[in-house]
């Protein structure tokens, strides 16, 4: 039987925690159509803190004065969660991040530099030696001014492995305690991405207080799978976004990662601090702020994630929800499952919905209602409650008239 949220681990092994680094307000906001003003970032940040994420990356302060002020506003208000700001490995970027994070109770400067030869040659136009020096200089500069520094090697999944290890070693020596290995363009596949973490951990060794982090994009639809593969390979921070928003095809979806870790907790032996029952509300808030709806088939928070139309599935869910649901909708904040009535539905679902509408029908009435529903379903994609009320009223009027006509005449 599949595990449900809250089931005890059967092995009795103590669980480690995977930190959830939410970058909805930074990487997510960078995608077309998802820009947020200061008030909108604050609304989203408040909910992310309630959700229980460990880090909120509030923005990229050097991008504009407006973004710097938005990060500063988030840093001033969010007190229980760490607030991060992104910076290139440049003095002006790090200074802007430090200025934005000045009011933060728990600040983190997030320094990044590309490490693939493709980026070094064609984008940055610097040598590997220059890249190493920039990492040493600006990570140390940030660390001397902020208690917590994360370093990201942009395009790590397409970087030379030996050089990548050199870069992370330099960042660690300069004071970075979070080492992030981004699959910036969604190029990796799960087993390959896991091997990357295994290689780096073996080459550099695990240092006390240093956390390996995964940051995946969804260009091949593998962001969540890659993130979970990294977790199995020792990553203890995952960078993700609400609804999976982000550059191009998006980032790894926060709700999918945390629910996967919860549902398959006995397999991963890991936990997060995320309050799962706040996930649906967080998704809906982001939709309200951006005006961009999630696809109906989106896992966990999509309109169809807990909707059932096929008669066999509806029958199973009515008898025992675990037959077709690996987690209860209420566990992730979805108000209730939906039994959608259409041409694939069965009599059991129709009977259940009629009962919810206040109509207990006989076997004969149900059969007539079902035939009428199928006629409606053939003309429309879904059968509404109004359709059902019309059907049951027509069936009862017809049966009542037939009964009256068959009654013996009075003498």
The pTM is what?
A: 0.86
Query: What pLDDT score was predicted for residue 411?
Result: 47
Tell me which long-range contacts 127-133 makes (C-beta under 8 A, separation of at least 24). 128/163, 131/167, 132/166, 132/167, 132/170
Query: What pLDDT score was predicted for residue 112?
Result: 98
- pLDDT (tens digit, 9 = 90+) per residue, 284-313? 999 999 999 999 999 999 988 888 777 778
Whether the CB-CB separation of 55 and 82 falls below 8 Å is answered with yes
Residues forming a β-bridge with 16: 270
Query: What pLDDT score was predicted for residue 391?
Result: 93
- pLDDT (tens digit, 9 = 90+) per residue, 338-378? 777 888 888 888 998 898 888 899 999 999 999 999 999 88
Return the beta strands (E) in 89-162 as ranges.
107-114, 149-154
Query: What pLDDT score was predicted for residue 340?
Result: 74
In this predicted structure, which of 25-39, 193-207, 317-331 has the lowest mean pLDDT? 317-331
- pLDDT (tens digit, 9 = 90+) per residue, 72-95? 999 999 999 999 999 999 999 999
Q: Which residue blocks in 181-323 are alpha helix, DSSP H?
A: 190-204, 223-232, 254-263, 265-268, 279-290, 311-319
Query: What pLDDT score was predicted for residue 409?
Result: 53
**Which sign, positive or negative, has the C-alpha torsion 62, 35, 58, 174?**
negative
All domains in the chain, ordered by first residue: 16-290 (3.20.20.70), 307-405 (no CATH)
Mean pLDDT across the chain, nearest whole number?
92
Q: How confident is the model at residue 407 (pLDDT cuts 50, 70, 90)?
A: low
Residue 399 predicted with pLDDT over 70: yes
Residue 8 predicted with pLDDT over 60: no
% of residues, the chain, pLDDT over 90: 75
Query: What pLDDT score was predicted for residue 195?
Result: 98
Which SS3 state, helix, strand or coil, does residue 138 take?
A: helix
Whether the CB-CB separation of 138 and 94 falls below 8 Å is answered with yes
Counted residue by residue, the chain has a size of 411
- pLDDT (tens digit, 9 = 90+) per residue, 223-256? 999 999 999 999 999 999 999 999 999 999 999 9
- pLDDT (tens digit, 9 = 90+) per residue, 117-173? 999 999 999 999 999 999 999 999 999 999 999 999 999 999 999 999 999 999 999
């Amino acid at each position: 039987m599949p595990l449900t949220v809250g089931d005890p681990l059967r092995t009795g092994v103590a669980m480690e925690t995977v930190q959830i680094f939410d970058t909805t307000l930074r990487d997510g906001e960078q995608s077309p159509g998802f820009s947020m003003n200061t008030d909108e970032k604050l609304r989203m940040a408040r909910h992310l803190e309630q959700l229980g994420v460990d880090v909120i990356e509030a923005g990229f302060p050097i991008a504009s004065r407006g973004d710097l002020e938005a990060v500063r506003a988030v840093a001033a208000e969010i007190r229980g969660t760490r607030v991060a700001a992104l910076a290139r490995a440049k003095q002006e970027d790090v200074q802007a991040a430090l200025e934005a994070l000045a009011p933060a109770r728990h600040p983190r400067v997030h320094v990044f530099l590309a490490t693939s030869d493709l980026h070094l040659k064609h984008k940055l136009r610097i040598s590997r030696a220059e890249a190493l020096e920039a990492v040493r200089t600006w990570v140390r500069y940030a660390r001397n001014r902020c208690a917590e520094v994360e370093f990201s090697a942009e395009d790590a999944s397409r970087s030379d492995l030996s050089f990548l290890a050199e870069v992370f070693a330099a960042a660690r020596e300069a004071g970075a305690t979070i080492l992030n290995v981004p699959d910036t363009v969604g190029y990796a596949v799960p087993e390959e991405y896991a091997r990357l973490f295994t290689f780096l951990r073996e080459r550099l060794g695990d240092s006390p207080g240093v956390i390996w982090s995964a940051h995946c994009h969804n260009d091949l639809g593998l962001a969540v799978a890659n993130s979970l593969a990294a977790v199995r390979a020792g990553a203890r921070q995952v960078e993700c976004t609400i609804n999976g928003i982000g550059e191009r095809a998006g980032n790894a979806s926060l709700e999918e990662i945390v629910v996967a870790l919860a549902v398959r907790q006995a397999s991963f032996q890991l936990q997060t601090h995320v309050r799962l029952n706040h996930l649906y509300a967080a998704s809906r808030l982001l939709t309200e702020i951006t005006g961009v709806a999630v696809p109906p088939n989106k896992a966990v928070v999509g309109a169809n994630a807990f909707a059932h139309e096929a008669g066999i599935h509806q029958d199973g869910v009515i008898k025992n929800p675990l037959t077709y649901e690996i987690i209860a909708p209420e566990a992730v904040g979805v108000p209730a499952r939906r039994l959608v009535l259409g041409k694939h539905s069965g009599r059991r679902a129709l009977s259940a919905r009629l009962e919810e509408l206040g109509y207990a029908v006989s076997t004969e009435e149900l059969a007539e209602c079902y035939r009428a529903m199928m006629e409606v379903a053939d003309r429309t994609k879904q059968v509404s409650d109004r359709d059902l009320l019309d059907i049951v009223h027509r069936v009862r009027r017809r049966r009542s008239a037939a009964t009256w006509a068959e009654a013996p005449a009075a003498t």
